[in-house]
């Protein structure tokens, strides 16, 4: 820190030369040699540009990290491996400004974006819900759940089967599916709560597979691998179809030309509202006694029991709340796809949701939201590399584990202002 | 009996497979006393603690905790096996089923007994304040709706909980570290925090498992003072396991000496000091034990 005042330009120049030389080796053959039929041409100017950019960039970075600001920054990141940080009491989060901005942008998206972009964003939001649900179970309560997709499937099939057998639409199934998934979470949870870590992971993995196999093989009820269609949401009884069997449709009522994008807009807006509601509830939960109990359970179960916390109920509540969020996501998935079959609910989905939670940072809400979008939107943008998706996924995980083992966003804890103590 | 003794242990037996860790342990702890459980390494002190606090289900015997105006059988709340008579009496069946499904050591704590651990078990990634807030779980407003809507009564309950937290941080001298992570604290601070956390559940009897282990003499002295505060100002009975004989003899009113899973002596500090059986157990009459701290 003592030599922070001056920048050693000699060192920066050497760094820049080394980086430039490496860039030359790397880009020389790749960019510089251009095949033209059976012969090849050397394109030196392109290589020169690239090497120059790399060298200048390296010079800038090297100089920056010798300034006081740079040293402070690298120091901060070097220490980023330790866990949570406690915020100062009365800390004002920058989120106060970001959240309204995101809400405004989010509300504008359906009217600006194309139908394709909208569907991608809907998928992203569905995974945000899933990530938030699993984050309660894995991130907060520390229960490794590899069968989370089971609850997702229960939500999705709840909507489709509820419509087919009982005539229940989207709006009535939305809460019912959440409750159904929560009940399934309790049924799964109760017998396995005495297990820890790896054993719990295996049992939950089995649970996810059981759900999928039941959906595949109970053909008389679920239509098996043929799948089943799911209803669209309605706006006060107005349907989003081209023409309706009973009553008016949305575009007829508002005298608009029919556009299939309307239904996605509507789903998006409902989903957007639900995601914010879940985010809010999640935000409150971590500050509430139940959230503290979950985290305490993750830290040390035996200590929890010694403090009078009923570990069975604490774990069950985490399982149920997480599962109900998964169920909500399932309802949206079904209505957005319009058709579901068991192949949407494979183990790969569970792994993806778990990856969202791990990448985002266990227990961090913001991290999960970012990671959910990252992992769902990125594969859409990289359609050309679709075959290498899982490979890139794996590489990403390895890189993350080396670079930021605690996830993208570090968990922060609320600080409490000291006050006068009192016994009551 | 129950009014005078806060904890009565009768014929306590604990077997791990073929190993008989405890054979017929009997003692009673008087309300408002500081009692110590001592003995050479491997005598079964921590096993007794784990039975008392419900972490082990005792093989036999009876542990009666009379706190909070009622008697609790520690072994019963852990969930006993079904007996033939239960199938004829639905009430007994339901009660047993309830304890089997939802019973456990947390009920022992709720009945008024709390403990600390030999190897400190704090919630390391949570702040000091949060550690103490978790301990008040049973006393705050746990309603989901009230918390999500942030109602007045919820805010008031949280506020009161925080006030109690800062009171206890004052008692254990940790106010300055209130917003640090529990895992970052020094060893002595962690010990004190764990005691404060155990006290935060409002127990009538607190069991401290080697509270002075790893502390230097001045910290031990501060701890001794603190234990007296617990007893005198908070009407808490203290039962502790300790190897530091100086401290044990200093603060205990009553000492139970265990060796090979049996009580070999009990009484006041002076009786114990001169008891030939105890000296033999510690200094080794026929076998050699390293523990020479009398």
Q: What would the pLDDT profile of A375-412 be if each residue is shown by its tens digit?
A: 888 777 777 777 777 787 788 778 877 877 777 777 77
In this prediction, residue A99 carries a pLDDT of 87
Q: What pLDDT band is residue A72 in, cutting at 50, 70 and 90?
A: confident
Q: What ipTM was assigned to the predicted interfaces of this complex?
A: 0.86
In sequence order, what are the residues at sequence separation of 6 or more whose Cβ sits closer than 8 angstroms to the Cβ of residue A368?
Answer: A128, A131, A132, A135, A139, A356, A357, A360, A361
Q: Among the listed ranges A43-52, A75-84, A268-277, A404-413, which one has the minimum average pLDDT value? A: A75-84
Q: Is the pLDDT of residue B161 over 70?
A: yes
Q: Is the pLDDT of residue A207 over 80?
A: yes
> Does the distance separating the beta carbons of A421 and B163 come in below 8 Å?
yes
Helix (H, G, I), strand (E, B) or coil at A340: strand
In this prediction, residue A247 carries a pLDDT of 67
Helices assigned H by DSSP within chain B? 45-52, 74-77, 90-102, 105-110, 128-135, 144-149, 152-171, 187-199, 217-234, 245-251, 269-273, 276-283
**Mean pLDDT along residues A128-137:** 92
Distance CA A153, CA A131 (A): 15
Q: Among the listed ranges A128-137, B21-30, B53-62, B84-93, which one has the minimum average pLDDT value? A: B84-93
Q: Is the pLDDT of residue B123 over 60?
A: yes
Domain chopping of chain A, boundaries = 2-78, 115-343
Eight-state DSSP code of residue A405 = T
Which one of B77, B108, B126, B151 would you mutate to disrupt binding with A, by most A Cβ within 10 Å of its Cβ?
Answer: B126
pLDDT tens digits, A178-189: 999 999 999 888
Distance CA A219, CA A227 (A): 9
In sequence order, what are the residues at sequence separation of 6 or more whose Cβ sits closer than 8 angstroms to the Cβ of residue A136?
Answer: A282, A285, A294, A318, A321, A322, A325
Selected residue with higher pLDDT from A215 and B98: A215
> Does the distance separating the beta carbons of A308 and B106 come in below 8 Å?
yes
Residue with tokens 């989010």: A106
CB proximity A90 to B under 8 Å:
no
pLDDT tens digits, A29-59: 777 777 778 888 777 888 888 888 888 998 8
Distance from the Cα of B239 to chain A's closest Cα (Å) equals 15
Selecting from B106, B129, B198 the residue whose C-beta is nearest the C-beta of A310 gives: B106
Q: Is the pLDDT of residue A132 over 90?
A: yes
Q: Which domains does chain B have, with CATH numbers?
A: 1-112+204-294 (3.40.50.300), 125-202 (no CATH)
Distance CA A210, CA A204 (A): 10
Selected residue with higher pLDDT from B288 and A67: A67
C-alpha distances (whole Å) from B282 to each of B17, B35, B267 are 27, 19, 17
In this prediction, residue B64 carries a pLDDT of 87
Q: In chain B, which among 260-289 make CB contacts under 8 A with chain A?
A: none
Q: Is the pLDDT of residue A231 over 70?
A: yes
Taking CA–CA distances from A421, the nearest residue in chain B reads B167
Return the top range by mean pLDDT from A129-133, B67-71, B197-201: A129-133
> Does the distance separating the beta carbons of B167 and A423 come in below 8 Å?
yes
Selected residue with higher pLDDT from B254 and A250: B254
Q: Is the pLDDT of residue A331 over 90?
A: yes
In this prediction, residue B260 carries a pLDDT of 87
CB B193, CB B168: distance < 8 Å: no
Say if strands A85-86 and A39-42 run parallel, antiparallel, or are unpaired.
unpaired
Selecting from B101, B133, B148 the residue whose C-beta is nearest the C-beta of A281 gives: B148
**Mean pLDDT along residues B136-143:** 81
Q: Which residues of chain B have a CB within 8 Å of the CB of A292? A: 126, 130, 133-134, 137
Q: Is the pLDDT of residue B227 over 80?
A: yes
Distance from the Cα of A314 to chain B's closest Cα (Å) equals 11
In this prediction, residue A80 carries a pLDDT of 52
In this prediction, residue B245 carries a pLDDT of 86
Say if strands B19-30 and B5-16 run parallel, antiparallel, or are unpaired.
antiparallel
């Amino acid at each position: 820190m003592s030599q922070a005042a001056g920048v050693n330009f000699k060192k920066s120049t050497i760094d820049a030369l080394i980086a430039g030389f490496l860039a030359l080796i790397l880009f020389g053959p790749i960019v510089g040699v251009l095949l033209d039929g059976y012969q090849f041409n050397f394109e030196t100017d392109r290589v020169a540009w690239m090497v120059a950019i790399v060298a200048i960039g390296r010079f800038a970075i090297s100089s920056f990290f010798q300034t006081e600001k740079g040293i402070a920054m690298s120091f901060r990141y070097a220490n980023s491996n330790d866990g949570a940080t406690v915020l100062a009491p009365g800390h004002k989060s920058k989120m106060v400004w970001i959240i309204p901005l995101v809400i405004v942008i989010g509300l504008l998206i359906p009217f600006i974006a194309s139908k394709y972009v909208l569907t991608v964003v809907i998928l992203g939001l569905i995974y945000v819900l899933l990530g938030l649900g699993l984050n309660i179970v894995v991130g907060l309560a520390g229960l490794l759940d590899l069968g989370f997709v089971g609850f997702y499937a229960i939500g999705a099939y709840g909507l489709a089967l509820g419509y087919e057998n009982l005539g229940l639409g989207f709006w009535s199934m939305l809460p019912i599916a959440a409750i159904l998934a929560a009940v399934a979470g309790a049924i799964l949870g109760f017998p396995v709560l005495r297990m820890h870590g790896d054993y719990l992971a295996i049992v939950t993995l089995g649970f996810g597979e059981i759900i999928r196999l039941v959906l595949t093989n109970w053909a008389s009820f679920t239509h098996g691998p043929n799948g089943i269609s799911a209803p669209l949401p309605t706006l006060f009884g107005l349907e989003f179809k081209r023409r309706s069997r009973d009553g008016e449709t949305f575009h007829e009522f508002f005298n608009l030309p029919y556009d299939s994008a309307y239904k996605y807009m509507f789903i998006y807006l409902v989903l957007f509202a639900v995601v914010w509601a879940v985010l809010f509830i999640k935000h409150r939960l971590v500050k509430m006694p139940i959230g503290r109990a979950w985290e305490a359970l993750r830290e040390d179960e035996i200590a929890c029991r010694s403090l009078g916390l009923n570990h069975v109920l604490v774990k069950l509540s985490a399982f149920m709340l997480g599962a109900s969020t998964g169920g909500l996501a399932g309802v949206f998935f079904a209505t957005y796809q319009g058709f579901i079959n068991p192949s949407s609910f494979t183990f790969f989905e569970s792994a993806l949701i778990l990856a969202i939670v791990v990448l985002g940072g266990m227990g961090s809400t913001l991290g999960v939201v970012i990671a959910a979008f990252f992992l769902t939107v990125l594969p859409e943008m990289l359609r050309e590399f679709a075959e290498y998706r899982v490979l890139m996924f794996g590489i990403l995980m390895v890189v993350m584990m080396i670079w930021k083992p605690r996830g993208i966003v570090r968990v922060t804890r609320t600080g409490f202002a000291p006050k006068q103590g009192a016994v009551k | 009996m129950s009014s005078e003794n806060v904890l009565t242990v009768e014929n306590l037996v604990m077997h791990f497979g073929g190993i008989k860790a405890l054979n017929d342990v009997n003692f009673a702890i008087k309300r408002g006393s500081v009692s110590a459980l001592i003995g050479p390494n491997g005598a079964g002190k921590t096993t007794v603690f784990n039975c008392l606090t419900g972490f082990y289900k005792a093989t036999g015997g009876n542990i009666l905790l009379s706190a909070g105006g009622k008697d609790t059988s520690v072994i019963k709340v852990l969930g006993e096996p079904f007996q033939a008579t239960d199938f004829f009496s639905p009430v007994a069946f339901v009660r047993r089923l309830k304890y089997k499904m939802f019973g456990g050591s947390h009920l022992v704590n709720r009945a008024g007994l709390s403990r600390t651990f030999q190897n400190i078990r704090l919630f390391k990634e949570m702040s000091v304040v949060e550690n103490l807030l978790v301990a008040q779980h049973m006393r705050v407003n746990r309603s989901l709706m009230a918390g999500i809507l942030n109602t007045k009564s919820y805010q008031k309950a949280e506020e009161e909980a925080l006030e109690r937290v800062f009171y206890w941080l004052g008692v254990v001298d940790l106010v300055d570290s209130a917003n640090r992570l529990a895992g970052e604290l020094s060893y002595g601070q962690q010990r004190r925090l764990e005691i404060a956390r155990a006290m935060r559940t409002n127990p009538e009897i607190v069991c401290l498992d080697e509270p002075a282990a790893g502390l230097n003499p001045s910290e031990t002295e501060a701890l001794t003072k603190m234990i007296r505060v617990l007893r005198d100002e908070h009407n808490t009975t203290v039962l502790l396991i300790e190897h530091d004989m100086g401290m044990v003899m200093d603060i205990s009113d009553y000492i139970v000496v265990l060796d090979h899973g049996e009580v070999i002596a009990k009484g006041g500090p002076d009786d114990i000091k001169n008891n030939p059986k105890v000296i033999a157990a510690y200094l080794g009459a026929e076998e050699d034990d390293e523990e020479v701290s009398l």
